[in-house]
Amino acid sequence: MARGRRFGSVTSPSLLLPLLLLCLSSPPAQSLRFDLQSGHTKCISEDIKLNAMSVGKYSVVNPSDSQPAPASHRVTLRVTSPYGNSMHFAENVESGNFAFTSNEAGDYLACFWTADHTPSTPMTLDFDWKTGVAAKDWTNVAKKGQIDLMELELKKLEDTVKSIHDEMFYLREREEEMQDMNRTTNSRMAWLSFLSLAVCLSVAGMQLWHLKTFFERKKLL
């Protein structure tokens, strides 16, 4: 990704301000809650940029507050990168968490599955997956840096602007990749059309030559 370019060459401040306000006005992401049947698998994907921080935590919801969770309420999780590399793996657990910095850009998959039980046992899972600026622990940042609330908010704004900056470059590069792919596809289609036309003309010429030879041999011409 072209992260070394200057910010001013991407967009004007008038375009940046609405994006920044939109990010600041958006409510914080809530954890995802979903049901999973025993013996089944459910995967959740997240598009993560290169060198972005990613943290997640997951837990099986106990169906009864007064009793421990049943032994069947265990889940296995594997998080894989776009090229299939394993970023996290936990087997037969009630809860867990993971954290990593992406070394590949693209769709990361978090796949949950459970052992097969008879009869089938449904369970509910809570899953919270954050990336980029949202993945940072701002509470610890404030404690370690001993900064006041205003400085913390300014640091959040700075990281948000950097995130928008990187996202713009990422979208521009994806657009350039798609344009290159379109140009390559159009070029190949042009060559394929030319080759198809050449084959059709060759077959037509061979048919005319065959018919002429046939009629001459039968003395019809």
Same domain, 7 and 87: no
pLDDT tens digits for range 73-109: 889 999 999 999 999 999 999 999 999 989 998 899 9
Among 84, 107, 135, which residue terminates a domain? 135
Q: Which residue from 169, 94, 85, 162 is spatially nearest to 125, judged by alpha carbons?
A: 94
Q: Is residue 67 part of a domain?
A: yes
| CATH value at residue 102 | 2.60.120.680
CA 56, CA 96: separation in Å to the nearest integer? Answer: 9
CA 73, CA 118: separation in Å to the nearest integer? Answer: 13
Same domain, 4 and 23: yes
- pTM for the whole thing? 0.56
One-letter amino acid of 208: L
Same domain, 43 and 113: yes
Residue 28 is predicted with a pLDDT of 44
Q: Is residue 54 part of a domain?
A: yes
One-letter amino acid of 169: F
One-letter amino acid of 105: A
Residue 142 is predicted with a pLDDT of 52
Same domain, 60 and 120: yes
Same domain, 1 and 56: no
* Domain span at 172: 1-29+150-221
* pLDDT tier, 201 (very low <50, low <70, confident <90, very high otherwise): very high
CA 57, CA 88: separation in Å to the nearest integer? Answer: 11
Q: How many domains does the chain have?
A: 2
Among 73, 108, 135, which residue terminates a domain? 135
Q: What is the mean pLDDT of the chain?
A: 79
Whether residue 108 contacts residue 131, with contact meaning beta carbons closer than 8 Å, is answered with no
- Chain mean position to CA 214: 64
